[in-house]
Amino acid sequence: MIKVIEMKKESPTIQIGLRIEKDLLDQVEFFAEENKIDKMSLIRQAIVLYVGEMETAVEDEAIENYIVGRIDEEELKKYTGMKNIPTDLKSVRSQTLNELSKKRLKRD
């Protein structure tokens, strides 16, 4: 006799519990009604937008930190997902680091 085991498909989403202030919930419900969507869809959209903005901010900060020499290429790739560093970015970094070195030498 062969026993068949049914495997459950893993869901691409997870359920979370969320506690928010009543005033905020009222605002969520208002905007959901105005946009003719349910409040959970509005909350999901808000989270996606916010996380996207945070991701962009982290990438921008990483690029800035790379240009001024606070982080190296590997760290830049880690924070931005870049496979290769663009030549224009490398060029700006080189120019910036040269200028910073000249300023430091003048102070010494």
- pLDDT exceeds cutoff 80 at 14: yes
> What digits encode the pLDDT tens for the residues 19-72?
999 999 999 999 999 999 999 999 999 999 999 999 999 999 999 999 999 999
Per the CB < 8 A criterion, the answer to whether 47 and 68 are in contact is: no
Structure tokens at 47: 């989270």
Read off the DSSP letter of residue 84.
S
- Residue 105, pLDDT score: 78
Q: Which residue has the tokens 């808000």?
A: 46
Q: Which residue has the tokens 């910036």?
A: 96
For range 12-25, the mean pLDDT: 92
Domain boundaries, the chain: 22-107
Share of the chain above pLDDT 70, in %: 93
